[in-house]
Structure 1
Amino acid sequence: MLSNAGVLLPTGSVMDMDLAELDRVMAVNFRGAAACVKHAARAMASGGGAIVCTASVASLQGGFGPASYTASKHALLGLVRAAAGELGRHGVRVNCVSPGGVATPLSCALMGVGPRELEAMTVPHNVLQGKVLRAEDVAEAALFLASDQAAFISGHNLVVDGATTAVNPAVLHTVGL
C-alpha cells in the first residue's frame, strides 16, 4: 500500500503561521497517512505485506518548506518508525520514501512556475550533477520498498535526493572538494 497524499501550503513563517492552514497540512500529510497505515495494517496483519508512505527531505531537516509542512513530514517519519516496530510481528514492513525537490503539479503550483522552471531552480542545489530528480525516480524507490527485493527492510526512510541532505556543499567548496 502506498500512502502518497500530501499538501504543501504557503502557511507563512512560524511567527505568522496560519493555524487553520497548519491544521489542514497536518490533517492531510499526517492524519491521512495514519488512516492509510491503520487500515492497511488491519488488512495485512494475517498475511504480511508492505506499507510505503511518501515523506520528504523535509522529514530530515528544516529549510525545505514551511514549518507546517516540515512538522507534518517529521510526524509521518515517526509514525512509519513506530508502525514498523509494532507491525513487524505480523510480517508487515513499513517504510517511507523521502524525495527532494521534484517538479510535481503540487510543487509547481506552490512556486507559481512550470516544471522546467522548477527543475532549473533545483540544479544549483543538486550535489549529484548532470541529473534532475523526476517523479519516476521517486516511484521506482517506492516500488523497490514495496517489492520482495526489500523483504528485510522496515522502518527505513529511503531518501531520494542525490545526496542533497547527506553533505553540505558550502563545506565541500570551502575545503576544495
Structure 2
Amino acid sequence: MLADSIGARYIHCDVAKESDVESAIQLAITWKGKLDILFSNAGIGGTASSITSLDMEQVKHLVSINLLGNVHAIKHAARAMLRCNTKGSIICTSSSAGIMGGLASHPYSLSKAEEVKKLVGDQGSLLRGKAATVEDVAQAAVFLASDDTGFITAHNLIIDGGYTSAISSLSFIYK
C-alpha cells in the first residue's frame, strides 16, 4: 500500500460525511498523539449549465463536499487541537472560481465562494502566461503550516498568478 511505503496512514474519508472526517482526524491523533496540521483540499467540479436550469441535487452534492467538507474538517480539527492543547494550522483550499464569476459552473462557483470572503481588487493581472501548479499550492500550504506563520489566521491566500485581481474576464484561461 502506498501509504505504508511513505510512512503514512490511509483511511477512506468522504468529507460530505461528518463521521468520516471525525474518524480520519481520530486516526491521526491515535497515530501521532496530536494534530498539528489539517489540510482540507477535497473538492469536485460541476456540470456547466444555465442558472435557470440548475440541477439542484448536483448543487446540494457540490455544497456537501466543497463547503460542508471544510466545515466538518475545521470543526473536528479545532476540537482535536484544543483537546491536545496544540497550536496547529488549519488550511483549506478553495478556487479562483469562488472569487470571480464565470470561471466554472454555477454550483461549483457557489460552493467555493461560500468558503472564503471575496477579496478581489482592481489591480491589473499579474498573470505570467501560466496556470498555478500543484507545486505552487503545495508550497503555500507548507508555508502556512510552518511556525513562521503564527500570526496569520483567517486569511484568504489566493494562489492564482493574479487571475482574480484582473478587471477583465479571464474565462479563456480555463477553456
Normalised by the size of structure 2, how large is the TM-score? 0.65
- Measure the CA separation in 1 of the matches of 2:87 and 2:141: 17
In the alignment, what sits opposite 2:173? Answer: none
Larger mean Cα displacement after TM superposition, 33-42 or 65-74: 65-74
Matched, 1:14 2:14: no
The residue type paired with residue 57 of structure 1 is S
In the alignment, what sits opposite 1:143? Answer: 142
- Measure the CA separation in 1 of the matches of 2:168 and 2:110: 25
After TM superposition, which residue ranges in structure 1, 4 or more long, deviate above 3 angstroms?
Answer: none
In the alignment, what sits opposite 1:5? Answer: 42
Structure 2 residue matching 1:7: 3-state secondary structure: coil
1:71 to partner: Cα distance: 1.2
* Residues 38-53 of structure 1 mapped to structure 2, 5 A cutoff: 38-45=75-82, 46-53=85-92
Q: Measured at CA, do residues 12 and 143 of structure 1 come closer, stay the same or move farther in structure 2, by a change above 3 Å?
A: same
1:127 to partner: Cα distance: 4.3
- Measure the CA separation in 2 of the matches of 1:161 and 1:134: 9
- Measure the CA separation in 1 of the matches of 2:161 and 2:108: 21
What is the aligned length?
A: 123
Structure 2 residue matching 1:65: 3-state secondary structure: coil
Q: Which of 39, 62, 69 matches 1:25? A: 62
**What does the per-residue CA deviation read over 1:105-129, in whole Å, with 9 as the maximum and x for residues that have no partner?**
xxxxxxxxxxxxxxxxxxxxx7422
The residue type paired with residue 52 of structure 1 is I
**What does the per-residue CA deviation read over 1:110-153, in whole Å, with 9 as the maximum and x for residues that have no partner?**
xxxxxxxxxxxxxxxx7422544211111111111111121111
In the alignment, what sits opposite 2:101? Answer: 62
**In 2, are the aligned partners of 1:58 and 1:74 still within 8 Å (CA)?**
yes
CA RMSD of aligned residues (A): 1.8
In the alignment, what sits opposite 2:155? Answer: 156
**In 2, are the aligned partners of 1:128 and 1:162 still within 8 Å (CA)?**
yes
- Measure the CA separation in 2 of the matches of 1:11 and 1:38: 31
- Measure the CA separation in 2 of the matches of 1:147 and 1:23: 34
**In 1, are the aligned partners of 2:131 and 2:160 still within 8 Å (CA)?**
no
1:167 to partner: Cα distance: 2.3
Structure 2 residue matching 1:76: 3-state secondary structure: coil
**In 1, are the aligned partners of 2:42 and 2:69 still within 8 Å (CA)?**
yes
Structure 2 portions without partners, runs of 5+: 1-37, 118-124, 170-175
1:5 to partner: Cα distance: 0.6
Structure 2 residue matching 1:52: 3-state secondary structure: strand
* Residues 36-115 of structure 1 mapped to structure 2, 5 A cutoff: 36-45=73-82, 46-77=85-116
**In 2, are the aligned partners of 1:127 and 1:169 still within 8 Å (CA)?**
no
Larger mean Cα displacement after TM superposition, 145-154 or 128-137: 128-137
Q: Identity over the aligned pairs, expressed in percent?
A: 39
**In 2, are the aligned partners of 1:11 and 1:22 still within 8 Å (CA)?**
no
Structure with greater proportional helix content: 1
Normalised by the size of structure 1, how large is the TM-score? 0.64
Structure with greater proportional strand content: 1
In the alignment, what sits opposite 2:120? Answer: none
